[in-house]
Amino acid sequence: MMRTRPLKVALLGCGVVGSEVARIMTTHADDLAARIGAPVELAGVAVRRPSRVREGIPAELVTTDATALVKRGDIDVVVEVIGGIEPARSLITAAFEHGASVVSANKALLAQDGAALHAAAEENNKDLYYEAAVAGAIPLIRPLRESLAGDKVNRVLGIVNGTTNFILDKMDSTGAGYQEALDEATALGYAEADPTADVEGFDAAAKAAILAGIAFHTRVRLDDVYREGMTEVTAADFRSAKEMGCTIKLLAICERSKDGASVTARVHPAMIPLTHPLASVRGAYNAVFVESDAAGQLMFYGPGAGGSPTASAVLGDLVAVCRNRLNGATGPGESAYAALPVSPMGEVVTRYHISLDVADKPGVLAQVATVFAEHGVSIDTVRQQGKDGEASLVVVTHRASDASLTGTVEALRKLDTVRGVASIMRVEGE
Amino acid sequence: MMRTRPLKVALLGCGVVGSEVARIMTTHADDLAARIGAPVELAGVAVRRPSRVREGIPAELVTTDATALVKRGDIDVVVEVIGGIEPARSLITAAFEHGASVVSANKALLAQDGAALHAAAEENNKDLYYEAAVAGAIPLIRPLRESLAGDKVNRVLGIVNGTTNFILDKMDSTGAGYQEALDEATALGYAEADPTADVEGFDAAAKAAILAGIAFHTRVRLDDVYREGMTEVTAADFRSAKEMGCTIKLLAICERSKDGASVTARVHPAMIPLTHPLASVRGAYNAVFVESDAAGQLMFYGPGAGGSPTASAVLGDLVAVCRNRLNGATGPGESAYAALPVSPMGEVVTRYHISLDVADKPGVLAQVATVFAEHGVSIDTVRQQGKDGEASLVVVTHRASDASLTGTVEALRKLDTVRGVASIMRVEGE
């Protein structure tokens, strides 16, 4: 049963992702029509610079007036691939008010204003889908909010930023330092000229907020996510990691507390065992590891960025939203009924790898061990290495709260025999 | 907006999976109600042996009359976890006719009669969901038929049977032979007393048929799937694989031909490079690798069997089907519009690793190479090893059709200088 009146799609943005969405909509029109049950038609494309030649897109569809496009009233689905907060937020809200559903790839906006956008969608009985906002082509939002809808997710552990994974993988495999690996990533186009959003963990934090929200049926705002970049990871850290049978990844970690009464979300570099499935995620690939009560351990792996992979995710959502529209129904909206409190970083419990520069004389280890004990942080292993009057002490702890660890480190810094704290890194995935 | 009249669920089968479904429905009733938008109630449980004590299931819900249960008329969703063809098929059909949607974990039935069941669902405007039928808890059906609905899948490469992966992993890591590894799998409960369905690839073939059908929007029947078991894989094969930087996995492979005009589906042991993400899938875990035009390479990993993981998949479907019902809609049904022909095994194109026992005298290699050339099979590498008057010759080919390779091997067997063909194994994932 094929309906002949086409569904009308407005495309906001025609850069790397948008142009690929338009291309696939044209070249795969028959497949899309068969899968949806009605043809889809590109009804308008809003761009900033209309003069740029856009292959395959009829000039009469191109407009600089995005607001007029979303308010036309005959648009079925608005695809937003502009990015950023404004004008994307106003355009999406206007789209709902004027009868359209929305497919978005905008992680920053979803992380910051997801609740308000979901409310606007629900008020107008429209869909808001955004599979492309987290980890590009990897199906994650749909599995978390649909496939695992009958399960209880306890932890999400993800490599959700390709740029930083490329850099860390390069450091791991070549022994390069951070700057050298970043330079290579930039030269190869894996890092932007200003890599701040990636290397400081802002991009990953937005994704962590979205994932935590869906996984725990709880609103998690960007501000709730603890964030630490990976610019201070050194070649020495990788050597320490190797000695422990680990590598280092920038992880987005969303966890339910042991008693189930609260959740946490954080982004920071961490050591993970080489035997963990995330350890072998190479280059710019992304992967997300999910632990749930009934399903156990799942992992989703694939390209986390790029025009084509992101377009694949956008089009999957487009098909779903179009199908819902033909059915006169909407898909799952925001699910925040659990409304669990988001605990601060100090309450996170994990293990730590601490590297100290200490005086090479008797009694130092006893002093250091006393400080750990006084703060209730139990030591798993200690490794001591002497070098010309100085020595280094590598301590790996058992599980302890971040607050206890912070207290321990502050006290260690005050010891005369501790010359410096060379590095502190969390150990995850065990 | 919570509806108060509960949705009624009939459970067919209360074994390892069914009892876990019932348990989670009871213990997580509030979560399920919040996610669905209405409470769900277990309205009846059909079993064969009503005398067995079933913890947590009220005795008055238990019946041996499954047919009467599905025909009650007040059932919203029938969950079928009996397995096998009959009575499951008749019960599912009756369920549709009497107003219920169906969630099934029945791979054998779906692979054999998927088209008829889908037709029955559509005729009655009901849902048929079966995420649990392939690879247990791993979300696969939903990502393939929804997330990738706007993309073009070219290949699905999966480890979809945990028993055989456990055995092959054991052979790989310990150097054990097939029988020894099987014995250990049996002792640990990973293999059934009669392991035929697993080790001969019947279970994987059913899953390959289902996956190929969804991936290519084409009906693929169980009979269309080429099937070769893994009982003849030897320790020597693993040594050969290691020399090539490979390991051996039992793979379900669904491929679109290069010209896109046909598809193939097959199950057989194959060498894959250690660098391939599937190579590091250990123990009884499953993983499915998907290659598509736009998304590129994706992998889905997790537990492929077991009561809890399978229940997780069943419950995810149950939530979706209940939501659809409240919406007065149905989810995506069968999509077979592409109706591509399924080519026979002879037309599959891949690489081969062939191990020959040959006479250790000059000219043998030239003879063998001539046979390959005459059948249009191009040789990539040859490795010759002498041992006491006999020698072995290991040939790795470039890509060639299965028919050409079969012709080559037949001709090789006729050569006087070839004492025997020790093994032939396909090389995949490059």
Q: Which residue has the tokens 């000059």?
A: B362
Taking CB atoms and an 8 Å cutoff, what residues of chain A touch B28? 150, 152
The shortest CB-CB distance from A329 to any of B24, B316, B329 is to: B329
Report the pLDDT value the prediction gives residue B339, as an integer from 0 to 100.
96
Q: Is the pLDDT of residue B100 over 90?
A: yes
Report the pLDDT value the prediction gives residue A430, as an integer from 0 to 100.
80
DSSP for B61-128 reads GEES-HHHHHTSS--SEEEE---SSTTHHHHHHHHHHTT-EEEE--HHHHHHHHHHHHHHHHHTT--E
B160-303: same fold as B7-136+307-327?
A: no
The tens place of each residue's pLDDT in chain A, 430 residues long, gives 566 789 999 999 999 999 999 999 999 999 999 999 999 999 999 999 888 778 889 999 999 999 999 999 999 999 999 999 999 999 999 999 999 999 999 999 999 999 999 999 999 999 999 999 999 899 999 999 999 999 999 999 999 999 999 999 999 999 999 999 999 999 999 999 999 999 999 999 999 999 999 999 999 999 999 999 999 999 999 999 999 999 999 999 999 999 999 999 999 999 999 999 999 999 999 999 999 999 999 999 999 889 999 999 999 999 999 999 999 999 999 999 999 999 999 999 999 999 999 998 888 999 999 999 999 999 999 998 876 777 899 999 999 999 999 999 999 999 999 999 999 999 999 8
Terminal-residue alpha carbon distance, chain A: 52
Single out the residue of B124, B64, B135 nearest to residue B92, CA to CA.
B124
* 3-state SS, residue B196: helix
Domain B7-136+307-327 has CATH 3.40.50.720: yes
Mutating which of A312, A323, A330, A337 best tests the B interface, going by the most B Cβ atoms within 10 A? Answer: A312
CA B209/CA B109 separation, integer angstroms: 11
Q: Has A322 been labeled as part of a binding site?
A: no
B313-347: burial string, b at 16+ Cβ within 10 Å, e else: bbbbbbbbbbbbbebebbbbbbbbebebebbebee
Considering A8, A207, A242, A258, which one is annotated as catalytic? A207
Report the pLDDT value the prediction gives residue A1, as an integer from 0 to 100.
54
Report the pLDDT value the prediction gives residue B211, as an integer from 0 to 100.
97
Q: Inspect the interface and report whether the beta carbons of A34 and B335 lie closer than 8 Å.
A: yes
DSSP for A352-365 reads EEEEEEEESSTTHH
B92-117 mean pLDDT: 97
Q: Inspect the interface and report whether the beta carbons of B35 and A152 lie closer than 8 Å.
A: no
Terminal-residue alpha carbon distance, chain B: 52
The pLDDT mean for chain B works out to: 95
- Which pLDDT tens digit goes with each residue over B177-191? 999 999 999 999 999
**Rg of chain B, C-alpha, whole Å:** 24
The shortest CB-CB distance from B311 to any of A294, A323, A332 is to: A294
The angle subtended at Cα A115 by Cα A114 and Cα A119, nearest 5°, is: 115
A391 strand-pairing partners: A358, A386
Closest chain A CA to residue B274? A280
DSSP A276: S
Taking CB atoms and an 8 Å cutoff, what residues of chain A touch B316? 146-151
Q: Has A14 been labeled as part of a binding site?
A: yes
CA B212/CA B204 separation, integer angstroms: 12
* 3-state SS, residue A44: strand
- Which pLDDT tens digit goes with each residue over B375-402? 999 999 999 887 677 789 999 999 999 9
Ramachandran region, residue A244 (left: φ > 0; alpha: ψ -120 to 50; beta: rest):
alpha
Q: Which two tokens stand for residue A286?
A: 């992304």
> Domain locations in chain B?
7-136+307-327, 160-303, 345-427
Which are the catalytic amino acids of B? Answer: 207
- Which pLDDT tens digit goes with each residue over B239-282? 999 999 999 999 999 999 999 999 999 999 999 999 999 999 99
DSSP for A175-221 reads ---HHHHHHHHHHTTSS-SS-HHHHTTHHHHHHHHHHHHHHHTS---
Q: Inspect the interface and report whether the beta carbons of B294 and A316 lie closer than 8 Å.
A: no
Single out the residue of A125, A145, A123 nearest to residue A134, CA to CA.
A145
CA B131/CA B140 separation, integer angstroms: 7
- Which pLDDT tens digit goes with each residue over B114-163? 999 999 999 999 999 999 999 989 999 999 999 999 999 999 999 999 99
The shortest CB-CB distance from A147 to any of B142, B328, B329 is to: B142
Single out the residue of A429, A410, A314 nearest to residue A82, CA to CA.
A314
Report the pLDDT value the prediction gives residue B393, as an integer from 0 to 100.
93
The better pLDDT of the pair B55, B317 is held by B317
Report the pLDDT value the prediction gives residue A390, as an integer from 0 to 100.
79
Report the pLDDT value the prediction gives residue A190, as an integer from 0 to 100.
92
Domain boundaries A143-303, corresponding CATH code: 3.30.360.10
Domain A345-427 has CATH 3.30.70.260: yes
Q: What is the ipTM of this complex?
A: 0.93
- Which pLDDT tens digit goes with each residue over A167-221? 999 999 999 999 999 999 999 999 999 999 999 999 999 999 999 999 999 999 9
Domain B160-303 has CATH 3.40.30.10: no
Contacts of A209 (CB under 8 A, 6+ apart): A111, A114, A220, A221, A222, A224, A225, A265
A107/chain B closest Cα distance in angstroms = 18
B227/chain A closest Cα distance in angstroms = 28
Taking CB atoms and an 8 Å cutoff, what residues of chain B touch A300? 298-301
Report the pLDDT value the prediction gives residue A362, as an integer from 0 to 100.
83
Report the pLDDT value the prediction gives residue A2, as an integer from 0 to 100.
63
B14-27: burial string, b at 16+ Cβ within 10 Å, e else: beebbbbbbbbbee
- Which pLDDT tens digit goes with each residue over A284-311? 999 999 999 999 999 999 998 899 999 9
